[in-house]
Amino acid sequence: MFPKALVRIAIVGSLAAALMIAVAACGGGDDGDALSIEDYLTEMERLDNDAEAQQTALRQQFEAATVGDSGSGALTDVYKEALEAYYVGLAEAGKDFINAVEDLQPPDDAQEVHDEYIAAYDELLAQLNVIIDEIPTLTSRGDRDALLSSPDLEAAFARGNAACADLQQLAADNNVDVDFGCQV
């Protein structure tokens, strides 16, 4: 997946797909404030773990709010409200995460990976906003499932997963023991 902090999106019910949000930060190393590669990757992992914990809490809130929902047929207002709250929460947590990542100063040899990660994450956030905008129009589980498997969302996930894998490879190349939980 996108590194753990690339916000895991657990697609509700039977879909249970995940999206993780993790990133590297911008800045560059020219001003002397750049982190070492080890400190950068370790901080990215910490941010990723924090974002994953937020996502888990949001999913648990959603599940608690929809505990009596049968999972088939028409979407109830209660279900749609809980679904919207879940995705709004993911988007807010994702924005907080990416802001923290952007505040990092990666070393020069991580800058390209970092920049692509941020771009991929921004694409994913844009897709979360599409989901949020469309939730009020959903009438059935089929509508929901179609929305959560749109080609644009799938492309955003794929880009995020590739960016995550690049970040994980950067760690491996530098013998830094971190795990971003990438889905490749």
Q: Name the residue type at position 55.
A: Q
- Tokens at 101, concatenated: 């990542």
What average pLDDT is seen over the chain? Answer: 84
| Entry pTM | 0.80
pLDDT digits (tens, 9 = 90+) for 138-183: 999 999 999 999 999 999 999 999 999 999 999 999 999 999 998 8
